[in-house]
Amino acid sequence: MAQQDDPRGNDAPETDGKAPEPGSSVATEGLHTEDKEPLLPPRGPMRTIFRAIGLIEQIIGSLLLVMILILVLAQVAQRYLPGAAPWTGELARLSMVWAAFLMAGYLMAYPPYHIAIQVVDYVAKGRMLMAVKLFVNLVILSTCLFMIYGSYTLVTTTVSQVTPAGGISLRFVNSIPLVGLILVAIRAALGIVVRDIPALRGRNVDAA
């Protein structure tokens, strides 16, 4: 096959105007590129708001990771220093849970930043694939709404209870997963409105 010079100095295969074969590097390079774009409203102030929410989620997630590291190191130091602080282990475990819930919405809105196994994408095509993605977001949304109800119940019924080691209010402990579930539900609803339904109707989805 004829070779042509790549602008970056590498030799790239010439396709001669033919479509690349399935499974080739050229075919998979641009596979479902729309899934790699951030999930944001197409334009207007809502887009800015969602970008700000994503930035806040990044900051909080980073701070929680740093806090987990410090607390774990403190637990190691307690083995060689006098005194004990059992609340460090409790807070480290809670921070892991909080980070998982608070970052779930961000990872859903920015798909390139988390691991995803794409199987259906290679089997279903066209509107069938769009219908599957719509179904997935509907399941995520309904599951989040169900869990939001359960989390709200925990928040309103554990007002006076605290954690055994650190004395942290369980109302606060359960409020953070509630916020995370709300953010995931909002992203699922946004995906349905902004991407899934327009794609299922054959309309172009605005890129981020």
For 146-200, what is each residue's pLDDT tens digit?
A: 999 999 998 998 778 899 888 899 999 999 999 999 999 999 999 999 988 888 8
Give the 3-state DSSP-derived string for 53-74, with helices as H, strands as E and coil as C: HHHHHHHHHHHHHHHHHHHHHH
d(CA 47, CA 2): 45
Residue 144, pLDDT score: 96
- Widest pairwise Cα distance in the chain: 75
Q: Which of 119, 118, 141 is nearest to 191 (CA)?
A: 141
* pTM of model > 0.85: no
Per DSSP, the three-state class of 19 is coil
Comparing 40-54, 75-89, 105-119, 129-143, the range with the smallest average pLDDT is 105-119
d(CA 89, CA 86): 6
In angstroms, rounded to a whole number, what is the distance separating the alpha carbons of residues 19 and 142? 40
The percentage of residues in the chain with a pLDDT greater than 70, rounded to a whole number, is 77
Given a cut of 80, whether residue 26 has pLDDT beyond it is: no
Nearest to 185 by CA among 101, 99, 129: 101
Q: What share of the chain is helix, strand, coil (3-state, %, to 5)?
A: 65, 5, 30
